[in-house]
Amino acid sequence: MRRLLVAVIVVSALFAVACGSETTTGSVQAVTFTDATHGWAVGASGTILATTDGGATWSKQSSGVSDYLSAVTFTDATHGWVAGSLGTILATTDGGGAWRKQTSGTTATLSAVTFPDATHGWVVGANGTSLATTDGGAHWSAPTTGYGATLNAVTFTDATHGWVVGMSGVILATTDGGATWREQRSGSVVDYLKAVTFSDATHGWVVGASGGTILATTNGGATWRKQSSGGSDYLSAVTFTDATHGWVVGANGTILATTDGGATWRKQTSGTTANLSAVTFPDATHGWVVEDNGTILATTDGGATWSVQRSGSVVGDPLQ
């Protein structure tokens, strides 16, 4: 058994070198790119990885923490935020050259972070935790959503219009920057909703755990309709570059793509059966996907083909 473990470690290390990357001791959970070259990925043990060449090479940045980091967002190539366990929020103004810890005022596990611009931001997490800032995170407040269960994802298209999703199929929306929230529901789906994205203030999509759930709206969430994913796998993340081009990822290497706003979804060949935890596309051709073992996949043709940029860690975390 010991020889087998050593062999696995050696193979993983050699694969990482071949891919022009470096391994870490934990998984990578989230990834974001601001353009075709600048990207960041975060995960277990305070891991933050960065690239300035589209992922050809990844370098480790010093987070200064050992917490599990579950979410990352950047508004441009310099301003970024990371959120994770024990209420951890980190921020940078130099592309990650230096990360500083912000005072969140909570010890709750934080699952998602979004900034539509460099000053307005929101974070959500366990036990209905919701945080907001209007000064780039120098100060965080805790406006209530009125919902006490776990919130998994949050997105804002501007400083006022936002949506949150979570347990039991909950979808919450705000038009005043989070001062007040109202509940939106599909009327037919009670699900563990995992991710949400909006390409503008009217077109949005939500994905969930049960039966390959994909929901869509064209009126800001006033009504939600179910789209056919063509499968039953757990879906964990969704992104759209505009109102028509989008991608969804999930369990068993699932990558789905659409060019018509989700009216039809087609399966792409990921080349893996691992669980996929995150996806980002800064434009309609360049994209990156994260496996739950830390492997990063990339495409330059909208997902027609995917290749490995960075090998996975030796010890990965389960799909969250």
* Residue 277, SS3 per DSSP: strand
- Residue 36: what pLDDT? 98
- Residue 318: what pLDDT? 34
Q: What is the pLDDT of residues 111-122, one digit of tens each?
A: 999 999 999 999
- Residue 189: what pLDDT? 58
What does the pLDDT average to over 179-201? 84
- Residue 294: what pLDDT? 86
Res. 206 pLDDT band, cuts 50 70 90: very high
pLDDT over 70 percentage in the chain: 87
What does the pLDDT average to over 97-117? 98
| Angstrom distance (rounded) from CA 26 to CA 11 | 17
| Angstrom distance (rounded) from CA 41 to CA 82 | 10
Q: Is the pTM of this model over 0.85?
A: yes
- The answer to whether 220 touches 179, Cβ cutoff 8 Å, is no
Kindly list the domain boundaries of the chain, sorted by start residue.
108-310
What does the pLDDT average to over 159-188? 90
- Residue 3: what pLDDT? 38
**How high does pLDDT run on average in the chain?**
88
* Residue 108, SS3 per DSSP: coil
- For the beta sheet containing 214-217, the strands, ordered from the edge strand earlier in sequence to the opposite edge, are 193-198, 204-208, 214-217, 225-227
According to CATH, the topology of domain 108-310 is Methylamine Dehydrogenase; Chain H (2.130.10)
- Residue 313: what pLDDT? 55
| Angstrom distance (rounded) from CA 171 to CA 275 | 24
In this predicted structure, the answer to whether residue 185 has a pLDDT above a threshold of 90 is no
| Angstrom distance (rounded) from CA 182 to CA 264 | 30
Lowest mean pLDDT among 31-45, 60-74, 298-312: 298-312
In this predicted structure, the answer to whether residue 252 has a pLDDT above a threshold of 80 is yes
Q: What is the pLDDT of residues 265-294, one digit of tens each?
A: 999 999 999 999 999 999 999 999 999 888
In this predicted structure, the answer to whether residue 8 has a pLDDT above a threshold of 60 is no
Res. 165 pLDDT band, cuts 50 70 90: very high
What does the pLDDT average to over 237-241? 98
